[in-house]
């Protein structure tokens, strides 16, 4: 199967090399975070309940934001089935992130689209789907994983959502485009040279008193 046939707009499995790629076709790591993610080991929490397709992940929460505030804020997108505000096991304080499972998958998608970067208790919150169980091979942010903020940059940027890959340009089309640009540049240079020569002759004629009428 050709690489163009295997191409997918979104990630189907989590591959740190492809996640940091502009079009998902890279085969070698080009970022230290990518290497760290490749070499790390991570096992998803097998005790997590609920459907991952219906679950969203929320982070960058204000440490003072209570679970009731978060629940009330996200209940406007649909009926919540499960909710968990993650706390430090020692201090009991909020770690700034939570998981919300909705009754319907469409409600999770609505929260994903509308709640991202909205303000809650003075913080612009981050909202994404729960990738841990959705994508095989998922590596979290702390291990060098996560999604890239800008695939155009070709670098991993922590704390961002999956974005569509830019579709690869077929080699033959790229060669045609480069040929067209070379031809355009050559024609433009010829036109400039021609215009410059005509201007020189015109100036010479005007100096000799041979103006055109």
* DSSP structure string for 13-73: S--HHHHTSSSS---S--SHHHHHHHH------TT--S-GGGEEEEES--TT--HHHHHHH
On whether both 86 and 181 belong to a single domain, the answer is no
Residue 95 lies in a domain: yes
The CATH number given to whatever domain includes residue 91 is 3.30.70.330
CA distance 36 to 144: 6
Looking at residue 1, its pLDDT comes to 44
On whether both 15 and 99 belong to a single domain, the answer is yes
CA distance 55 to 48: 11
Report the number of distinct structural domains present in the chain: 2
On whether both 182 and 120 belong to a single domain, the answer is no
On whether both 32 and 63 belong to a single domain, the answer is yes
User: Of all residues in the chain, what percent carry a pLDDT higher than 70?
Assistant: 69
Query: Mean pLDDT over all residues of the chain?
Result: 80
Of 126, 103, 110, the closest CA to residue 54 belongs to: 103
Residue 41 lies in a domain: yes
Which residues have CB under 8 Å from 58's CB, separation 6+? 70, 74, 97, 98, 99, 100, 115, 125, 126, 127
% helix / strand / coil in the chain, to the nearest 5?
Answer: 40, 15, 45
Q: Which residue has the higher pLDDT, 153 or 98?
A: 98
On whether both 177 and 133 belong to a single domain, the answer is no
Q: Which domain holds residue 15?
A: 3-153
On whether both 115 and 65 belong to a single domain, the answer is yes
On whether both 29 and 66 belong to a single domain, the answer is yes
Looking at residue 97, its pLDDT comes to 93
71-122 residue pLDDT tens: 999 999 999 999 999 999 999 999 999 999 999 999 999 999 999 999 999 9
On the question of pLDDT at 50 being above 70, the answer is yes
On the question of pLDDT at 198 being above 90, the answer is no
On whether both 68 and 112 belong to a single domain, the answer is yes
On whether both 91 and 195 belong to a single domain, the answer is no
Residue 160 lies in a domain: no
Residue 161 lies in a domain: no
Structure tokens at 192: 């400039």
On whether both 173 and 131 belong to a single domain, the answer is no
């Amino acid at each position: 199967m050709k690489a163009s046939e295997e191409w997918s707009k979104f990630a189907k499995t989590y591959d740190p090399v492809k996640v940091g790629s502009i079009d998902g076709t890279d085969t070698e790591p080009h970022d230290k975070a990518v290497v760290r993610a490749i070499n790390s080991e991570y096992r998803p929490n097998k005790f997590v309940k609920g459907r991952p397709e219906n679950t969203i992940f929320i982070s960058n929460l204000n440490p003072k934001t209570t679970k009731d505030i978060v629940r009330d804020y996200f209940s406007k997108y649909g009926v919540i089935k499960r909710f968990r505000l993650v706390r430090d096991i020692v201090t009991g304080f909020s770690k700034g992130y939570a998981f919300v499972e909705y009754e319907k998958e469409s409600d999770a998608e609505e929260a994903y689209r509308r709640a991202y970067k909205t303000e809650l208790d003075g913080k612009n919150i981050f909202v994404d789907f729960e990738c841990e169980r959705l994508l095989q091979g998922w590596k979290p942010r702390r291990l060098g994983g996560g999604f890239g903020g800008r695939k155009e940059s070709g670098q991993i940027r922590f704390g961002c959502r999956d974005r569509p890959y830019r579709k690869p340009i077929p080699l033959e089309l790229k060669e045609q485009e480069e040929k067209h640009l070379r031809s355009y540049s050559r024609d433009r240079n010829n036109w400039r040279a021609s215009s410059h020569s005509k201007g020189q002759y015109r100036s010479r004629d005007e100096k000799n008193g041979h103006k055109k009428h």
